[in-house]
């Protein structure tokens, strides 16, 4: 076994350090991108859940009315979790005269984009 003199130093070369830093930078970039996508997915799922609740609430309001609903269009606004939502409900006849179809579309008030949630429900004649 050969002993090294005390004044000889060993360590990484500049090239090795740069390669390690490049690998680390690529890995960190991938982690940051994954975290951003995860946050965007969570926000989308949260909004979809809230919009679905708004749609189900509007269906429940129609179902609880004492008067049998006629085919019509209804609109409304509701606030849930600090977000103002607008909904549109279409009440339609079905092949069965004792059943109506309720189709609800919900989107944020500040958006004219596609609905975040849609719900189709049926209500039977009381």
**Mind listing the pLDDT tens digit for each residue in 31-64?**
888 888 888 889 889 999 999 999 999 999 988 8
End-to-end alpha-carbon separation of the chain, Å? Answer: 97
What domains can be seen in the chain, in order of their start residue? Answer: 14-124 (3.30.1300.30)
36 within 8 A of 82, measured Cβ to Cβ: no
Model pTM score: 0.71
CA 1, CA 114: separation in Å to the nearest integer?
Answer: 75
> Parallel, antiparallel, or unpaired: how do β-strands 117-124 and 99-108 relate?
antiparallel
Extract the residue ranges of the chain whose pLDDT is less than 70: 1-9, 110-111
């Amino acid at each position: 076994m050969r002993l090294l003199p005390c004044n000889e130093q060993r360590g990484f070369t500049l090239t090795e350090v740069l390669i390690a830093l490049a690998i680390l930078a690529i890995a960190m970039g991938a982690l940051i991108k994954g975290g951003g996508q995860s946050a965007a997915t969570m926000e989308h799922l949260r909004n979809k859940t809230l919009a679905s609740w708004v749609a189900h609430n509007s269906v429940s309001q129609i179902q609880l009315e004492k008067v049998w609903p006629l085919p019509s269009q209804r609109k409304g606004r509701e606030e849930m979790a600090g977000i103002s939502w607008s909904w549109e409900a279409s009440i339609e006849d079905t092949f069965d005269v004792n059943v109506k179809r309720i189709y609800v579309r919900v989107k944020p008030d500040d958006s004219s984009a596609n609905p975040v949630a849609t719900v189709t429900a049926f209500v039977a004649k009381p």
